[in-house]
């Protein structure tokens, strides 16, 4: 007898088609049968060792978070309710060009300091891996939800070239090609870049194109955080489209927003650019989070030249008064490329987390608010924070536009991504609420998407990008990564004031046919594993 039958569920199967009533049978981690309208037809209903009454609940595929920053959180926190309680059954890690494999001892230390604001310093983690394959093996030891990995181009450049702003030599380029090839062979699904973060931002288009050719050879995709989301946003999007077309590599645009005042109301221009490329044969997808503010690290807004040489050189420059004044001028007057070419507005930058508990007084305030309380200029506060906290502060950046968010999420190649940074005392609520926010606010309350459309955006579309033939749909033979939610009550509990509040209306989540959320509570099941690239 099979393990589980889910009775009388309203199945929204991820295809975008209309919902239907069915009994769904699960066994050995897979959906083994679907009996539509079983009760109404009066037919023999399937039986199993356990029966779950799903009357009034929607059964859908598990949600796929196309842009996650859980690279260490999955290892640090076996519970991981931040994602499991949202119905997320698969996360894509290695984002924005900086993560923890492939590395050597030197590069690992540099990367840990550079992205402490995303993931913490990692002092509580045993970094026993160095290669992509070894990191994926570590995930296979048992994690809350499944995880796929993108090779981080910035980390690759740090390993082969260093943190200098210069072209790679032919030998260094060959080394980077080799590292990308090895990572793809070991199971990565593609490559990411952070082209406003050192050292990845120092790569010219020709270098990126060559690496994308390697990714394409292995059937992966390129996921860039491109060179500007501000003044040069449309040029930056076009650059990525052109580059990947030349390389013959599929393109997935990370957190594809149109932020800052210069881009208010300009989402249709981005979508027209993408539509033209798609009509010409380009293979493009994108992800967004359903909120207006962004989130990153405070050090990320500095100009690129300040990051050359790595984290210790940034600290040295900040400690020097004359150099710090140059940084301030670039930030406040010229428009730092780290801040997307837009002069920084300190009243939009809120400190969301610090590494040193002695600095928690800054958390929850904008830099300008802290400066006013201290009787200082904002740059003095930002500089002091970066120095005292050794580049660890994370920030919220209140620069988005609601009309752009809605326009982009309607697009036919859109997928969902939380961009969830779990670090800090006051993280962005998207980390704990992005997926129920889609279902509650943008489906039920605003009607921006139908329920069937939204579920397809969060399931089958990302599965297709990841080339996962047996995920993303409720189908016989597919993996039983499933979510049961109440469409009338599902909602994000997290807010900017209480960002770690769990969602409501998602009572059951299954990973590989096992309950990780049951009756609204996290079980002790660790059914997640590394999801490796499928062979071409």
User: Residues 56, 57, 60, CA angle at the centre, nearest 5°?
Assistant: 150
**Other CB atoms within 10 Å distance of the CB of residue 252:** 29
Task: Provide the b/e sequence for 68-79 (b: ≥16 CB within 10 Å).
Answer: bbbbbbbbebee
| Beta strand ranges found along 77-126 (DSSP E) | 88-93
If pLDDT is split at 50, 70 and 90, which confidence band does 127 have? very high
**CA separation for the pair 245, 248 (Å, rounded):** 5
Average pLDDT in the 5-19 region?
98
Task: Give backbone dihedrals phi and psi of 524, rounded to 5 degrees, phi first.
Answer: -95, 15
- In the predicted model, what is the mean pLDDT of the chain? 96
Mean pLDDT of 309-331: 96
Non-local (6+) Cβ contacts of 272 within 8 A are none
3-state secondary structure 168-200: CCHHHHHHHHHHHHHHHHCCCCEEEEECCCCCH
Whether the pLDDT of residue 212 is over 90: the answer is yes
For residue 68, what are the β-bridge partners? 420
What does the pLDDT look like over 506-520, one tens digit per residue?
999 999 999 999 999
Least Cα distance to 345 among 368, 362, 361, 363 occurs for 368
The sheet carrying 394-397 orders its strands as 294-297, 394-397, 349-353
Closest CA to 503 of 457, 446, 434, 448: 434
Query: What is the pLDDT averaged over residues 170-198?
Result: 98
**Taking 70 as the threshold, does the pLDDT of residue 390 lie above it?**
yes
The reported pLDDT for the residue numbered 40 is: 60
Residue 25 bridge partners (DSSP): 5, 33
- The mean pLDDT value for 252-275 works out to 96
Percent of the chain residues topping a pLDDT of 70: 99
Helices 153-160/105-114 angle, 10° precision: 140
> Which residues in 337-357 are b (16+ Cβ under 10 Å) and which e?
bbbbbbebbbebbbbbbbbee
Tell whether the model's pLDDT for residue 92 goes beyond 80.
Answer: yes
Q: What angle do CA 10, 16, 21 make, to 5 degrees?
A: 15
pLDDT of residue 190: 98
Contact between residue 96 and residue 225 where contact means Cβ atoms under 8 Å apart: yes
Asked whether the bond before 146 is cis by omega within 30 degrees of 0, the reply is: no
Burial annotation 262-299 (CB, 10 A radius, 16+ → b, else e): ebeebbeebbeebeebbeeebbbbbbbbbbebbbbbbb
| Mean pLDDT along residues 265-291 | 98
Segment 467-509, tens digit of pLDDT: 999 999 999 999 999 999 999 999 999 999 999 999 999 999 9
Q: How confident is the model at residue 120 (pLDDT cuts 50, 70, 90)?
A: very high
Q: What pLDDT was estimated at residue 237?
A: 98
**153 touches 192 (CB < 8 A):** yes
* Cβ–Cβ under 8 Å, residues 90 and 65: yes
Question: What span, in angstroms and rounded, lies between the C-alpha atoms of 115 and 370?
Answer: 23
Phi then psi dihedrals of residue 71, to 5 deg: -55, -40
> What confidence tens digit (pLDDT) does each residue in 22-40 have?
999 999 999 999 999 866 6
| pLDDT over 70 (residue 535) | no
Residue 6: its pLDDT value, please?
98
Element (H, E) at 360: none
Per residue, the 3-state secondary structure of 69-80, as one string, reads CCCCHHHHCCCC
Confidence check: pLDDT of 42 > 70: no
pLDDT of residue 169: 98
pLDDT value at 43 more than 80: no
* pLDDT at position 37: 84
Cα distances from 442 to residues 122, 286, 430, 464, in angstroms, run 36, 18, 14, 23
CB-CB contact of 312 with 274 (8 Å): no
DSSP assignment of 379-395, as one string? HHHHHHHHHHTTT--EE
Whether 228 and 341 have beta carbons less than 8 Å apart is answered as yes
| pLDDT (0 to 100) of residue 320 | 97
């Amino acid at each position: 007898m099979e393990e589980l039958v889910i009775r009388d569920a309203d199945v929204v199967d991820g295809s975008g088609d209309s919902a239907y009533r069915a009994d769904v049978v699960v066994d050995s981690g897979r959906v083994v049968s679907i009996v539509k309208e079983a009760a109404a037809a009066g037919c023999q209903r399937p039986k199993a060792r356990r029966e779950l009454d799903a009357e009034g609940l929607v059964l859908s595929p598990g949600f796929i978070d196309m842009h996650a920053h859980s690279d260490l959180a999955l290892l640090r926190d076996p519970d991981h309710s931040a994602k499991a309680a949202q119905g997320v059954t698969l996360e894509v890690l290695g984002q924005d060009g900086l993560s923890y494999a492939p590395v050597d001892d030197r590069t690992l230390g540099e990367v840990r300091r550079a992205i402490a604001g995303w993931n913490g310093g990692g002092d509580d983690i045993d970094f026993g891996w160095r290669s992509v394959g070894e990191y994926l093996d570590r995930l296979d030891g048992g994690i809350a939800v499944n995880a796929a990995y993108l090779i981080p181009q910035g980390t690759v450049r740090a390993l082969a070239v260093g943190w200098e702003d210069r072209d790679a030599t032919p030998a260094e380029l060959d080394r980077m090609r080799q590292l990308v090839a090895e990572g793809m062979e070991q199971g990565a699904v593609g490559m990411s870049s952070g082209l406003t973060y050192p050292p990845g931002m120092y790569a010219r288009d020709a270098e990126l194109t060559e690496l994308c050719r390697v990714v394409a050879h292995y059937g992966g995709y390129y996921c860039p955080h491109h060179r500007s989301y501000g003044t040069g946003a449309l040029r930056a999007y076009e650059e990525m489209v052109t580059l990947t077309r030349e390389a013959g590599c599929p393109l997935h645009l990370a957190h594809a927003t149109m932020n800052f005042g210069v881009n208010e109301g300009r989402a249709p221009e981005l979508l027209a650019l993408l539509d033209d490329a798609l009509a010409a044969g380009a293979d493009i997808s994108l992800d967004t989070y359903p909120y207006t503010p962004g989130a990153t690290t405070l050090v990320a807004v500095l100009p690129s030249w300040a990051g050359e040489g790595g984290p210790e050189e940034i600290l040295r420059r900040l400690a020097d008064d004359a150099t710090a004044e140059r940084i301030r001028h670039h930030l406040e007057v010229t428009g730092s490329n780290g801040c997307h070419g837009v002069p920084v507005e300190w009243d939009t930058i809120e400190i969301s987390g610090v590494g040193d508990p002695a600095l928690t007084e800054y958390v929850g305030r904008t830099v300008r608010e802290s400066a006013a309380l201290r009787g200082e200029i904002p740059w003095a506060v930002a500089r002091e924070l970066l120095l005292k906290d050794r580049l660890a502060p994370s920030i919220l950046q209140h620069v988005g536009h609601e009309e752009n968010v809605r326009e982009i999420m309607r697009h036919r190649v859109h997928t969902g991504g939380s961009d969830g940074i779990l670090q800090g005392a006051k993280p962005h609520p998207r980390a704990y609420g992005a997926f129920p926010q889609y279902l509650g606010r943008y489906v039920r309350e605003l009607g921006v998407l139908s329920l069937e459309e939204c579920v397809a955006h969060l399931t089958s579309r990302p599965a297709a990008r990841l080339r996962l033939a047996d995920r993303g749909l409720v189908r016989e033979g597919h993996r039983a990564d499933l979510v049961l939610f109440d469409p009338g009550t599902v909602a994000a509990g997290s807010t900017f004031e209480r960002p770690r509040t769990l969602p409501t209306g998602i009572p059951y989540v299954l990973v590989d046919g096992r309950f990780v959320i049951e009756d609204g509570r996290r079980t002790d099941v660790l059914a997640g594993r590394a999801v490796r690239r499928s062979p071409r």
